[in-house]
Structure 1
Amino acid sequence: MATKTCYYEVLKVERTATKQQVDRAYRKLAIKYHPDSNRDDDSATAKFKEATEAYEVLSDANKRARYDQYGHAGVEGATQQYGDVEDIFEAFGDLFGGGGFGDFFGGGSRRGGGGRRRVRRGADVRCDVTLSLEEAARGSHKDIVFRRRVSCDTCDGSGAAAGSEPVTCTMCGGQGQVIQSAGILRVQTTCPTCKGAGKQIGEPCGKCRGTGTQNEKAEMNVEIPAGVDDGMRVRLQGEGEPSPDGGPNGDCYCFISVKEHNLFKREGQHLILQMPISYAQAALGAEINVPTLDGPHELTVPAGTPTGHVFTVRGQGIVDPRSGRTGDLLVQVFIEVPKKLNDKQQKLLRELADLDHDSVLPERTSFLDKLRHFFDPEPEDANTGPTDTEKDS
């Protein structure tokens, strides 16, 4: 796997750079590597996309915080995948004072005039997937159902009735853009009639009413990788809605929700288990079986173990889906005090209490010494007489 360049190095800014400095740095690189200015340089597009990926993270406060703490792994899957440079034009064109970089470079990405036709990705869709902790830890296959818009099967997505064809929009003349004037200001905006398509439906399809799409219920089996956590997303590329003008399909994002477990709590890739033990087990030591996701594990509790002590069982946590490292199981033991005792238990405990009364335990002895000094502070030195000032007075 290729190593990614640090985003701060990509934009050539310091880690303390402000949002305005990040904007300026990206604007400078976008102009430098814009494909319209580098028609014979195939590497310019790659550098352009790399700068955009870095800008998307460093211009967002939440993403930047995760990146500063965890590096590229902290924003894995959180950045938009741009299939075409035109997607970037749509997303960040406002940095140049307009709706696209094409206007800034003299119309290179406008419709008509020999330039490229701007295409848009289809819309992304969402579905929710609920997993048990075991499914999230081991990975699983889940059947999902969601709804999306697809091309109309009657008009093949054209939106026009059979025997008719879309016609050039009379409002924008097929450009998809119109110029609005207000005094000395001239603003180019998307055509409100054709919504930027450049064409109008003369006779709309009776099934989709000219939209070119229809609702579909999608069902599929999805592989969920091992180690996913609550709030993560699994991307199904191309399973979203179709583009309105021939571009790539959108994606479907499966939002993961992990149910609470009745034994384990999860903290990142580690599992936490609170395990009750008896006073005798804590004082004398014992071999106990603790549950793990892979079955019981024998744990040695040394004699004199205090309540709240945490034992680490290596490699019994959850795998990290990015690094492949497996977390640990943290077993916190606590001494369970019985609420009801039979006569024999009471007798034995009273005998033990009598023995404990005379035993020397370092923590208790230290505490009792501090307590005695707190209630009965040492008197001032009796040999200390009055000061010279007090004698004169």
Structure 2
Amino acid sequence: MADETNGFRADWANKDFYAELGVKKDASADEIKKSYRKLARANHPDSNPGDTAKHEKFKKVAEAYDVVGDPDKRKKYDEMRSLYAGGNPFGFGGQSTYAGGRTYNFEDLFGNAGGTGGTAGGGFGDMFGDLFGRGQRRTSRPRATKGADIETTATIGFVESLEGVTIQLRLTSDAPCPDCNGTGGKPGTRPHVCPDCEGAGFIVNDMGGFSVNETCPRCGGRQLIYDEPCPTCKGSGRGLSGRTISARIPAGVKDGQRIRLRGKGAAGESGGPNGDLYVTVKVTPHRIFKRSGDNLAVEVPIAFDEAALGAEIKVPTLSGTPVTLKIPAGTPTGRTFRVRGKGAQKSDGTKGDLLATVEVQVPAVLDAEARAAVEAYRAATSSKPLRANLFEQAGA
């Protein structure tokens, strides 16, 4: 990019804008406009896809017309070219010699008002500031626009949510019309420069004291218009695109979690980046395991004698390899035991724990031997009524 001081494009002083437009220095405004439209139409990117040379020519022609196509800018441009003819006036950071052999310092000529190293206003910086600096009306290619974001939903299994999985997603999104390639014109027809914006892609609205550039409502910023719109997209230049993509769902994702996949959304316009894809993940329940944050939870049935006398039991894990859990004597139903490192994967790569809650099971049917044993237990503990404290506390 060319150096700038006080908004001044130094490289422009050595450019011959008249030559770029193919006209003489004393050409009339109508001659300049006619030549610009002809060159813009012949070199526009929409009319010459893939032709880099013509794309560059279009930019140079637009840049030239932006200056000499405006009477005030043209006058100051001519004055500057005449004043500094025969030399390179833009040697930044030192002194340069111009026509007549006189030496000037660049910062003295174009110093930023109130800035470091420059004069406090005035000079040639003010003279050419509105030509090459702030407030200028530039002709440029359509503004790059980011593509739209896309929302979708994916259902995965419980184990897949813990370990991560790559899934295939079928997406339908907004995209350039496949028949007109986004131009909005009927295939086979040729465009012409938009008469409202004269190929700039925007119009300037005077807001009273300042101007605002707005996208041209007639051409939509495309700079060209077609007399016959594309029958497929009705001139909008947009259509629907169906595609299948691979999406990686990270390990540890939770049910209902929203995943953002950068650059997987709709395609951008005029070189803009793609939008993003947001995937809301639905996780199917497991038969025995449940999610509790970064931990897994499982209910384990135990017998009355195991709870009363203590035992060592096997507990399943998600990996398939069981772990041994030691049940102390006198364990009540509902007690939870923690098995470390057997839970869900965390964001830092470590794993949570397995929470095993024991539930004492009461047999629905007893055979004669088991019934005799239970009756003997009842007789042995009858002197210690279980609910004695309950009635004492109720009467307190």
TM-score normalised by L of structure 1: 0.58
Partner of 2:308: 283
Q: CA RMSD in A?
A: 3.7
1:317 partnered with 2:337: no
Q: Structure 2: which amino acid aligns with 1:306?
A: P
Q: Whole-Å Cα distance in 2 between the matches of residues 156 and 330 of structure 1?
A: 58
Cα 1:234–1:300 change in 2 (3 A) is same
Matched, 1:274 2:299: yes
Bigger shift: residues 129-138 or 170-179: 170-179
Give the greater-gyration-radius structure (CA): 2
Q: Which of residues 261, 273, 293 is equivalent to 1:248?
A: 273
Distance 2:242 2:382 in 1: 74
For the pair 1:134 / 2:154, whether they are aligned, the reply is no
Is residue 179–residue 189 contact of structure 1 (8 Å, CA) maintained in 2?
yes
The 8 Å contact of residues 172 and 191 in structure 1, kept in 2 or not, is answered as no
**Where does 1:47-126 land on structure 2 (aligned, <5 Å)?**
112-113=137-138, 118-126=143-151
Residue aligned with 1:308, SS: coil
Would the aligned equivalents of 2:189 and 2:228 in 1 still touch at CA under 8 Å? no
> Which of 165, 188, 199 is matched with 2:191 structurally?
165
Judging changes above 3 Å, is the alpha-carbon distance between structure 1 residues 318 and 374 closer, same or farther for their aligned structure 2 residues? Answer: closer
Structure 1 residues 203 and 325 mapped into 2: Cα distance closer, same or farther (>3 Å)?
same
What are structure 2's unaligned runs of at least 5 residues? 8-129
Q: State whether structure 2 residue 245 is matched by structure 1 residue 220.
A: yes
**Deviation, structure 1 residue 355:** 0.9
Return closer, same or farther for 1:278/1:246 CA change in 2, 3 Å cut-off.
same
| C-alpha deviation, 1:348, in angstroms | 1.4
Residue aligning to 2:37:
none
Quick check: 1:282–1:304 contact (8 Å CA) kept in 2? yes
Is structure 2 residue 307 aligned with structure 1 residue 307?
A: no
Cα distance in 1 for partners of 2:154, 2:294 equals 20
Determine the structure 2 residue equivalent to 1:233: 258
Q: What does residue 4 of structure 1 align with?
A: none
Tell me the alpha carbon deviations over residues 324-382 of structure 1, each in whole angstroms, 9 at most, x when there is no partner. Answer: 2311111111112222223322221111111122359xxx5xx634633643x6xxxxx
C-alpha spacing 1:344/1:196, structure 2 compared with 1 (3 Å): farther
Instruction: Give, in whole Å, the separation in 2 of the partners of 1:336 and 1:172.
Output: 85
Aligned residue for 2:79? none
1: CA distance between counterparts of 2:360 and 2:264? Answer: 53
Cα deviation for residue 243 of structure 1 reads 2.4
Whether the aligned pair in 2 keeps the contact of 1:132 and 1:259 (CA below 8 Å) is yes
| Partner-residue secondary structure (3-state), 2:297 | strand
Equivalent residue letter for 2:265:
G
Query: 1:37/1:244 Cα in 2 relative to 1: closer, same or farther (>3 Å)?
Result: farther
1:237 to 1:155, Cα distance in 2 relative to 1, 3 A: same
Could you report, residue by residue, the CA deviation over 1:53-105 in whole angstroms, capped at 9, with x for unpaired residues?
A: xxxxxxxxxxxxxxxxxxxxxxxxxxxxxxxxxxxxxxxxxxxxxxxxxxxxx
- The CA deviation string for residues 246-273 of structure 1, in whole angstroms up to 9 with x for no partner, is 3112122222111122211112211111
Contact 1:133 1:259 in 2 (8 A): yes
User: What is the letter of the counterpart of residue 302 of structure 1?
Assistant: P
CA shift digits 1:268-293 (9 cap, x unpaired): 21111111111111111112121211
Does residue 372 of the first structure (1) align with residue 392 of the second (2)? yes
**d(CA) in 1 for partners of 2:218 and 2:326?**
75
For residue 333 of structure 2, what is the amino acid of its counterpart? T
Q: What's the TM-score, normalizing by structure 2?
A: 0.57
Determine the structure 1 residue equivalent to 2:177: 152
Unaligned runs of 5+ in 1: 1-35, 40-105, 378-393
**In structure 1, what is the Cα distance between the partners aligned to 2:388 and 2:134?**
82
Mapping for residues 1-80 of structure 1, pairs under 5 Å: none
Counterpart secondary structure, 2:382: helix
User: CA separation of 1:173/1:114 partners in 2, compared to 1, >3 Å: closer, same or farther?
Assistant: closer
TM superposition shift of 1:118: 4.0
Task: Give the corresponding residue for 2:17.
Answer: none
Residues 286, 300 of structure 1: 8 Å contact kept: yes
Counterpart code for 1:165: P
Distance 1:209 1:352 in 2: 88
Q: Which amino acid is the alignment partner of residue 298 of structure 2?
A: L
Alpha-carbon distance in structure 1 between the residues aligned to 2:143 and 2:5: 17
Superposed displacement of residue 220, structure 1: 2.7
1:348 to 373, 381, 384: 373
Q: What amino acid is the match of 2:391?
A: L
Q: What is the CA distance between 1:146 and its match in structure 2?
A: 1.5
Question: What percentage of residue pairs aligned between the two structures are identical?
Answer: 35
Deviations 1:279-311 (A, max 9, x none): 111111112121211112221111111111110
Partners of 2:178 and 2:262 in 1: CA distance: 22
- Conservation of the 8 A alpha-carbon contact between 1:164 and 1:203: no
Aligned-residue offset at 1:209: 3.0
